Chains A and B, each alone.
Chain A
Amino acid sequence: MTLQVKALSKAINHQQIIEDISFDWAPGEIIGLVGRNGVGKTTLFRTLTNQYVAEQGQVLIDGQSTTRHPLQQRQLFFLDGQYNFLSNYRLWEIPEFFRLVYAQFDQQRYQDLLVQFELDRNSQYRRLSKGMRALVNLILALTSNATYIILDEPFDGLDVIVRENIATMVIDEVADQQKGFLISSHDLNELDGLSDRVLLLKDSRLVQDYHLEEIRETAKKLQLVFNDKTIPAVLKEHSQLIRVSGRVLVVVITHYTPEIDQQLRALNPVLLEELPLTLEDLFRANLAHDTGYQLMK
């Protein structure tokens, strides 16, 4: 069982929003999707789910195209947080729609989760706060029991306690390897704790597909202080500058090799210390427009 995205492209008003996007997604995986604002994350989701007609490419679920075999789309859940049809309905009415589409929709669990999160079943969706709406969307995603679940900024507007509950639920859902999540979020700390894998979108394209365990083995985040004020060539060539504080440099080297290590130590730095590498560091390292050194005077 797998979902394959193959060379998916979408242009809007003659402007390429996503271009040649390809990746595989299997149940049991939690994939993070990150990128700068406006890079096309939501467009990718809408194109994946056939709301937008793709110019090129296709989405295959178990080897079958979702456009030729629309029934396969029921394995894929995406509810647009910004534009959805729920506004005029009360929370108790909403499952009537979803259970007609998702055969495994768990109505009892939906009701239980409403009670757990103290959501009034008689409330109209549009009258809920932004955070509560996000919570309802998430409850619907979980209770749909679709194999592949897309969540677009799911933590937006949620308080810390609810975030933790949700993160725990997502992790529990994938435990039996029957479901997979594709989550876009600007909250990189939250995503860091959840994802096994991260896709990075930049300039309409998928520029990186990181398996976080693997990248943490090859990449290093270093804190360095040199006697000299000039930036060594080895850093300019191989690293991305994350932060500067006085003469303290924090850099990320995505392919840290023994040769680079040797070159750095040969410079006799005053301080060379390894720091824990976070998703935010990878985000900065990959998606900043320049290496960061250009900004230094």
Chain B
Amino acid sequence: MHNQLDRLIWRRHRRLFLALGALALFANVVMVIIALSSRQTAGAHQLVGASIHHWATYKGDYFTAYSYWLIFVYWLAGLLLMNQDLKDNFNQFLFTSGFSRQRVYWTKLRQSLVVLLGISIVTIAVQYSLYWLMKPHGVSFTLAWPGLLTSWISGLAVATGLFAICWFAALIIGQTGALIVTVTGFTLSLMSVGAISQPILTNRPFSLSGSQLTWLVIGVWLIAAIILFVWGAVLYQHLSLEHNGEYLMVPRLKRPVYLVFVIYVTGIFSWGDTNWMADVVTFLITVIFGYAWLWRPRIGERLHQWRARHDG
């Protein structure tokens, strides 16, 4: 039974997995080539900086221990794996297949994460090998476990967290265009969250060191991922496909989403801002935009009815 479901999901997504793997490999190979060609003109003797020996995430000028492209591939995978099954009506087949929805959900998630981990390992192996093989004469490529392990764990945690956000969003949002806009906006907003939270955590009363902050961030990403995966499983169990094509596949989430959106966006834009008038304007824009975004079909429908009456 398990084997059959694994085979079914593999059969369904193998082309997508292959495409994601190819994207990760291609992007990293190009990245290595660009890094090494820029390195040749610089003339230093080390590709990797000394900070690779510290228990901290490593990011140098020429060498990245865990590529941003890999993180992007996880992000994309979360989006596509859930959205494609909804849009291509594969969910209908899965829901009538005789496999329990919980088993389908967790099998799909497990298989996706295993494949993505495999893509990460192969891509990193190829990336590091290319650095080793293509490094210019007289330049050394020295690695150390502290920097590598921290970077890999941190990279995987961020990638898994972003995968979870996209996976969850694609589960509850039934419109592809709106999904992309929502997830892209939220992902970009996380940079602001990082910028806001970093000084808070590194200054008093928390006074976290760089290393402590790294491990805290890893923990936060992993906990967020677990919460989203479990919450997603609960929602998947009750997903009803008549909502396919609507912004929210789970109508009862409309009000909570609206509330979180207003608080989150207003909070980000108003943080540290002393101009209360600007904050009020931000709040009002958020309230109106959020309402129009979430209830726009109803607004559009009413406008259409009003026009019909007016024309009649």
Q: Could you tell me if A101 and B8 are in contact, using CB atoms closer than 8 angstroms?
A: yes
- Rounded to whole angstroms, the CA-CA distance of A43 and B242 in the bound complex is 9
Q: Could you tell me if B96 and A50 are in contact, using CB atoms closer than 8 angstroms?
A: yes
Q: Could you tell me if B97 and A73 are in contact, using CB atoms closer than 8 angstroms?
A: yes
Given contacts A53-B240, A87-B88, are A74 and B8 in contact (CB under 8 A)? no
Q: Which of B231-245 contact A (CB under 8 A)?
A: 238-242
- Rounded to whole angstroms, the CA-CA distance of A65 and B5 in the bound complex is 21
B255 within 8 A of A: no
Given contacts A76-B96, A100-B11, A101-B98, are A85 and B242 in contact (CB under 8 A)? no
Q: Could you tell me if B96 and A85 are in contact, using CB atoms closer than 8 angstroms?
A: no
A61 to chain B: closest CB distance in Å? 11
- Rounded to whole angstroms, the CA-CA distance of A161 and B89 in the bound complex is 31
The interface residues of chain B lying within 8 Å CB-to-CB of A97 are: 8, 11-12, 93
The interface residues of chain B lying within 8 Å CB-to-CB of A84 are: 89, 92-93
Given contacts A46-B241, A100-B4, A100-B7, are A85 and B92 in contact (CB under 8 A)? yes
The interface residues of chain B lying within 8 Å CB-to-CB of A51 are: 91-92, 95-96, 240-241
The interface residues of chain A lying within 8 Å CB-to-CB of B100 are: 70
The interface residues of chain B lying within 8 Å CB-to-CB of A70 are: 98-101
The interface residues of chain A lying within 8 Å CB-to-CB of B88 are: 85, 87-88
- Rounded to whole angstroms, the CA-CA distance of A85 and B88 in the bound complex is 5
Q: Could you tell me if A101 and B241 are in contact, using CB atoms closer than 8 angstroms?
A: no
A184 within 8 A of B: no
The interface residues of chain A lying within 8 Å CB-to-CB of B12 are: 97
The interface residues of chain A lying within 8 Å CB-to-CB of B240 are: 51-53
B71 to chain A: closest CB distance in Å? 28
Q: Is the interface of B mostly helix, strand, loop or mixed?
A: helix
- Rounded to whole angstroms, the CA-CA distance of A76 and B88 in the bound complex is 21
B68 within 8 A of A: no
A87 to chain B: closest CB distance in Å? 7
A78 within 8 A of B: yes
Interface size on A, residues (CB 8 A): 25
Task: Determine which of B90, B98, B101 lies in contact with A85 in the assembled complex, contact meaning CB atoms within 8 Å.
Answer: B90
Task: Determine which of B89, B97, B98 lies in contact with A80 in the assembled complex, contact meaning CB atoms within 8 Å.
Answer: B89
- Rounded to whole angstroms, the CA-CA distance of A253 and B116 in the bound complex is 68
- Rounded to whole angstroms, the CA-CA distance of A12 and B278 in the bound complex is 41
A49 within 8 A of B: yes
Q: Could you tell me if A52 and B242 are in contact, using CB atoms closer than 8 angstroms?
A: yes
Q: Which of A44-94 contact B (CB under 8 A)?
A: 46, 49-53, 70-74, 76, 78, 80, 83-85, 87-88
Map CB proximity to A onto B73-106 as digits: 1 under 8 Å, 0 otherwise. Answer: 0000000000000001111110111111100000
A96 within 8 A of B: yes
The interface residues of chain B lying within 8 Å CB-to-CB of A72 are: 98
Given contacts A52-B240, A87-B88, are A100 and B8 in contact (CB under 8 A)? yes
- Rounded to whole angstroms, the CA-CA distance of A143 and B8 in the bound complex is 18
| CB-based nearest B residue for A82 | B89
A68 to chain B: closest CB distance in Å? 9
Q: Could you tell me if B11 and A96 are in contact, using CB atoms closer than 8 angstroms?
A: yes
The interface residues of chain A lying within 8 Å CB-to-CB of B90 are: 85
- Rounded to whole angstroms, the CA-CA distance of A97 and B92 in the bound complex is 13
The interface residues of chain A lying within 8 Å CB-to-CB of B101 are: 70
Q: Could you tell me if B99 and A80 are in contact, using CB atoms closer than 8 angstroms?
A: no
Q: Could you tell me if A83 and B89 are in contact, using CB atoms closer than 8 angstroms?
A: yes
Map CB proximity to A onto B114-150 as digits: 1 under 8 Å, 0 otherwise. Answer: 0000000000000000000000000000000000000
- Rounded to whole angstroms, the CA-CA distance of A72 and B239 in the bound complex is 20
- Rounded to whole angstroms, the CA-CA distance of A97 and B12 in the bound complex is 8
- Rounded to whole angstroms, the CA-CA distance of A83 and B241 in the bound complex is 11
B234 to chain A: closest CB distance in Å? 13
Map CB proximity to B onto A112-147 as digits: 1 under 8 Å, 0 otherwise. Answer: 000000000000000000000000000000000000
| CB-based nearest B residue for A99 | B4
| CB-based nearest B residue for A78 | B96
Q: Could you tell me if B89 and A85 are in contact, using CB atoms closer than 8 angstroms?
A: yes
Most chain B beta-carbon neighbours within 10 Å: one of A46, A53, A70, A84: A70
The interface residues of chain B lying within 8 Å CB-to-CB of A73 are: 96-98
Q: Could you tell me if B238 and A80 are in contact, using CB atoms closer than 8 angstroms?
A: no
- Rounded to whole angstroms, the CA-CA distance of A187 and B12 in the bound complex is 35
- Rounded to whole angstroms, the CA-CA distance of A76 and B95 in the bound complex is 12
Map CB proximity to A onto B195-238 as digits: 1 under 8 Å, 0 otherwise. Answer: 00000000000000000000000000000000000000000001
- Closest A-B pairs by Cβ, 3 of them: A74-B98, A53-B240, A85-B90
9 new A-B contacts at CB < 8 Å, known A46-B242, A74-B98, A101-B4? A51-B91, A51-B92, A53-B240, A70-B101, A87-B88, A96-B11, A97-B12, A97-B93, A100-B7
